[in-house]
Structure 1
Amino acid sequence: MLSACTTVPQAPVAPVSAAPTIPPGMQFLYGSGEAAALDHQAYNVLVDAVRRRIASEKADPKAMSDRTSAVLQPGATLDQPATIPCGDRPRAVVFDVDETLLLNLGFEYDDARHPGRPYDAALWQQWEQAGVDRVEAVPGAIAAVNELRAMGVTVVFNTNRSAATASFTEQAIGHAGLGTAKHGETLWLKGDLGSGSGKDTRRQAIAARYCVVAMGGDQLGDFSDLFTGTPQQRRAVASSPPIHGMWGRFWFVMPNPVYGTALKGGIDDVFPADKRWTPTNSGEK
């Protein structure tokens, strides 16, 4: 029997691990109603634009003025963004996949738990294969692709997921409720028609088969490989007279503050020198 003064050894108390701090971009994209509203807004506008175009073509099937593609011609520039004529090819809409149609919740959960971890291509390829059932559709995406297909429009996926994991991407798209994707027909991947991440060659091959009436993506490169340069240069050309009329008519952007080409630039790139302000009592000079 233990005496009253006997000290009973206490089991060590495991430290309580703090929940990881979620980056604001992830909070917005994966958790906010505002991001969901923007996605629905973009998809509603896209579907309405396609519906209006189809109605216009039915009303005047001989008119060729509206029979142009959303895909730029080879040799086009952003100053002169000539698009590929459609002819009589069947209609299609081309979408990027990741953070356009699919939310990579499993991968981004793991990324949130490892702040500061650099992008690892091998880790992403592992995710492409293992994360088939850890994705979900972007808000509004399922309704949009279903409406497009009901109008007789083919949905084509053009993504920089790897051609080596094509079958897993097909499964992920199906698992998310976005319908069937078939590699080489309605699914185009990095490694098809070249090894680079640029999508223009694939877009032009798709436009040779279809009249691409709209494209959706979350990066400027989902619309043309010509969007290059500094953040200020990219922003300026996206707002330039030859290009700004494409948005909401042929090109439709989904929000993505988590990763990609939009997340670049230091303070001098983002804030013009003539627009800066410092409070008088800040002590700064």
Structure 2
Amino acid sequence: MRADGVKRAGVLLALAATLGGCAAQRQVLLGRPSAPPLAVDPPAPPGVPPAMAWLYGSGEAAALSEQAYNGMVRYVREVLTAARDRRGRLPSQRAAGTLPRWPASVVLAPGATAASAETVPCGTLPPAVVLDMDETAVLNLGYEYDDAQTARGFDQQRWERWEKAGATRVTAVPGAVAAFHALRAMGVTMVINTNRSIGNAEATAQALASAGLGAFRHGETLFLKGDADGKSGKDGRRAAIAARYCVVALAGDQLGDFADLFNPPGPAPAVGRRMLTAVAPIEARWGNGWFVLPNPVYGTGLGSSWDETFPADKRWKDVP
């Protein structure tokens, strides 16, 4: 094309753009709808946060969860078998109004310390397993998806909305459904002890059922934040549950799911909490009545400082 032709074409294009803009402005002034803008694909979200990718997407996390639940089922079966051998009677056989007398439960007694770790007696109470809910029995995939997309940080009101609306957006932790079935078949009652809100009890029970974990009733097999003593710490609820059942196993993803002594009033140094887990009476309970599920996404296990994480005498720097 000749140069004067190119110049003339450029002028015409510019004029058309100007007239188009004027026409759009007239449409707005006259109250007429303008043509919708062309659809633009939203920007691609960033990669899944590593901790979420590991917990919710990896085979390694699934295997660890299966391992914890397999260990729990095996441990509880051994406890029940020992009771049967001592008394010649299974927990579900309650003829003549008699029940096996169990050893002490795995719930620490009021006033127990890590150095003593006494547990409450069971007598002839029926056996139960007590579990935390979130990231122990169910994975909150819907909430964590929203969290990963927005990176807004934790907000209690948003979590309340999730509790009310997210019942069908959870899935069972790997291994949980099979374990719940196996333990119930042994005559064990499954009890959930969670810090979800009392006001959302029905929605919480629906979420557990949606995940395939069965039916739960508030105040009987479902205990929520504020039940028993009005506190967020779980010792009061554990004591209330232990008054009804012989708790033969506990499961959770945070140390507070086992005893409040791990979370004293005020922030506890990470190194102190880590040392508590290795005190002899406590150390012996991991895998023997107390079962921990992995959770690198949130909770009391996160936030250790450089000094707490990497002792000074174990540091190394590469010098080429």
Q: TM-score, normalised by structure 2?
A: 0.82
SS of the counterpart of 2:236?
helix
212-221 or 17-26, which moves further after superposition? 17-26
| Mapped contact 2:101–2:122 kept (Cα < 8 A) | no
Counterpart selection for 2:130 from 73, 91, 94 = 94
Match of 1:196 in 2: 231
**1:52 partner letter:** E
1:222 maps to amino acid: D
The C-alpha deviation readout for 1:178-216, integer Å capped at 9, x for no partner, is: 000000000000021233210000000100100000011
Structure 2 counterpart of 1:182, from 209, 214, 217: 217
**Aligned residue for 1:232?**
271
Aligned to 2:167: 132
Q: Is the 8 A contact 2:102 2:122 kept in 1?
A: no
Letter in 1 for 2:164: Q
- Among residues 34, 37, 60, which one is paired with 2:60 in the alignment? 34
Give the structure 1 partner of residue 142 of structure 2.
106
1:153 to 188, 199, 209: 188
Cα shift readout 1:23-61 (whole Å, capped 9, x = no counterpart): 111000000000000000000000000001111111112
CA distance in 2, matches of 1:277, 1:195: 48
Q: Distance in 2 between matches of 1:60 and 1:202?
A: 30
Structure 1 residue 21 displacement after superposition: 2.3
Runs (5+) with no aligned partner, structure 2: 21-36, 89-99
State which structure, 1 or 2, has the greater radius of gyration over its C-alpha atoms: 2
How many correspondences in the alignment?
277
Quote how far apart the aligned CAs of 1:16 are.
Answer: 4.6
Task: Report the counterpart of residue 72 of structure 1 in structure 2.
Answer: 108
Residue 13 of structure 1 deviates from its aligned partner by 7.2
Q: Amino acid of the residue matched to residue 132 of structure 1? A: A
2:132 corresponds to which letter in structure 1?
D
Which secondary structure does the structure 2 equivalent of 1:70 belong to? coil
| Structure-1 residue corresponding to 2:252 | 217
Q: For residue 241 of structure 1, what is the aligned residue in structure 2?
A: 280
Q: What is the aligned partner in structure 2 of residue 254 from structure 1?
A: 293
What does 1:38-77 align with in structure 2 at a 5 Å threshold? 38-61=64-87, 67-77=103-113
> Following the alignment from structure 2 to structure 1, what is the Cα–Cα distance between the partners of residues 86 and 278?
32
Q: Displacement, 1:175? A: 0.8
2:160 & 2:39 partners in 1: Cα distance?
A: 39
The one-letter code matched in structure 2 to 1:164 is G
Worse overlay, 95-104 or 237-246? 237-246
Post-superposition offset of 1:239: 1.4
Distance (whole Å) between structure 2 residues aligned to residue 194 and residue 124 of structure 1? 22
Partners of 1:65 and 1:209 in 2: how far apart? 14
Partner residue of 1:278? 317
**Which structure is higher in strand share?**
1
Amino acid at match of 2:131: F
2:154 equivalent in structure 1: 119
Task: Give 1:81's aligned residue.
Answer: 117
8 A Cα contact 2:83 2:101, kept in partner: no
Q: 1:131 to 1:272 in 2, by over 3 A?
A: same
**What root-mean-square deviation, in Å, do the aligned CA atoms of Structure 1 and Structure 2 show?**
2.0
1:167 alignment partner in structure 2? 202
Task: Work out the CA distance in 2 between the residues paired with 1:12 and 1:156.
Answer: 54
Equivalent-residue separation in structure 2 for 1:164 and 1:238 (angstroms)? 34
TM-score (norm 1): 0.92
**Structure 2: distance between partners of 1:149 and 1:15:** 50
Secondary structure of residue in 2 paired with 1:43 = helix
Task: Give, in angstroms, the shift of residue 112 of structure 1.
Answer: 0.1
- After TM superposition, what 4+ stretches of structure 1 lie above 4 angstroms from structure 2? 3-13
Deviates more, 1:118-127 or 1:147-156: 118-127
2:107 counterpart SS class: strand
